[in-house]
Amino acid sequence: MKTLRILANTGNSRILIGETLGNVLEYIPPGEAVIVTDTNVSNLYKNQFPPCEVIEIETGEGIKTLDTVRDIYGRLVEMEVDRSSFIIGIGGGIVCDITGFAASTFLRGLEFGFVSTTLLSQVDASVGGKNGVNFDGYKNMVGVFNQPQFVLCDLDLLKTLPEREILCGLGEVAKHAFLGDARLFTYLEEHHEQAVALDPEVIERLVYDSVVLKADIVNRDEKEKGERRKLNFGHTFGHALEIQTDFNHGEAVSVGMMIAGFLSAGKGYLGMKDVERIGRLLGNLHLPTRPPVEPEGILRALRKDKKRKGNNIHFVLLREIGNFVLLREIGTAVVEEISLDELEVELNAFYAWDRSRH
């Protein structure tokens, strides 16, 4: 087992990689604890849950709403939970986001921790203290920054994940590699088959290296004033594609990173050889690299992006493939405003380039 720490203004957090769900009580102060989980995780793993009250929520992005938080508050009231109670979220990113928000707000804040059960949540969602829900169709519109006491990443639980969910998590690992860890990039290139097959040693390394990078950024910019924004690499196009296609988050971000890589090359930051290398790795991780909709579809969604500022949108661009040095700003990425008109030109160029390769 490996342990990492986040030391942030809103609290400290311990990330335990390779610890098992069965040991979770060791990390909780004595007293009452309540588990929040979803129906899938409960069906698969409730026999390993510690003896606590359990609140089960449904699954899917559609339930990440204030209504679900309200239901959780209702159950906590029924259970006569008080300020000394501890809340444990056991699940993927959706359970962790909702649990963290409900726990942070109920009775002005209860202590909470996560057992993270999806690869995406282990490498990304459960780490960093962003807890929130969607509102009025907008993603993660309402929420708080607040660190869980612990995040337990039980790698054995990943064995029951559908393959599409594993690939989604690997997409975020690749993002961390592109942004800040050239060694991780090479490791992924050499071990992509083992990664897809969930080889325990390879997965442990990927989760650990990802959390090292994310924890380091969060330690320096918890509230996303500057550097943490770079973790959104590929996500502006990704969110547009998520809206316009059947892609899940990881698939959409994979294509988004490809377009953002191309854009970085257009700006003269990245060589086209690097863009090809990014595409090859994503393809080897069984992730898509081609948008299934025409440029106009993407542009339409970008025009509605809540982060749009007038005619401009902030983009994370890569200057080179991750040569990040810990405790130093990510030297390899920049955040720049790009106008929608320029984007239209670049997107058309991307589609032409993409067609010429296939």
Ligand X SMILES: NC(=O)c1ccc[n+]([C@@H]2O[C@H](COP(=O)([O-])OP(=O)(O)OC[C@H]3O[C@@H](n4cnc5c(N)ncnc54)[C@H](O)[C@@H]3O)[C@@H](O)[C@H]2O)c1
Q: Which is nearer to ligand X, 39 or 311 (CB)?
A: 39
Stretch that binds ligand X, among 38-46, 178-186, 190-198, 292-300 (CB under 6 A): 38-46
Size of the site for ligand X (CB under 6 A): 27
Question: How many whole angstroms separate alpha carbon 324 and alpha carbon 145?
Answer: 25
Contact 91, 41 (CB under 8 A): yes
**Among positions 160, 186, 311, 339, the unique one binding ligand X when judged by CB under 6 A:** 160
Binding to ligand X by residue 151, rule CB under 6 A? no
Binding to ligand X by residue 8, rule CB under 6 A? no
Stretch that binds ligand X, among 12-20, 57-65, 77-85, 251-259 (CB under 6 A): 57-65
Question: How many whole angstroms separate alpha carbon 92 and alpha carbon 97?
Answer: 9
Q: Which residues, 73 to 132, sit near ligand X by CB under 6 A?
A: 91-95, 97, 117-118, 120-121, 124-125, 128, 130
Binding to ligand X by residue 58, rule CB under 6 A? no
Q: Which is nearer to ligand X, 128 or 322 (CB)?
A: 128
- Of 160, 156, 137, 135, residue with least CA distance to 70: 135
Backbone angles phi, psi at 271, to 5 degrees: -80, 155
Binding to ligand X by residue 40, rule CB under 6 A? yes
Binding to ligand X by residue 59, rule CB under 6 A? yes
Which residues are CB-contacts of 245 (< 8 A; sequence separation ≥ 6)? 252, 291, 292, 293
Stretch that binds ligand X, among 66-74, 160-168, 236-244, 284-292 (CB under 6 A): 160-168
Q: Is 163 exposed, middle or buried (0-12, 13-18, 19+ CB in 10 A)?
A: exposed
Residue with tokens 């988050």: 249
Contact 287, 120 (CB under 8 A): no
Q: Coil, strand, or helix at residue 32?
A: coil
* Contact residues for ligand X, defined by CB under 6 A: 38, 40-41, 44, 59, 61, 64, 91-95, 97, 117-118, 120-121, 124-125, 128, 130, 140, 157, 160-161, 165, 168
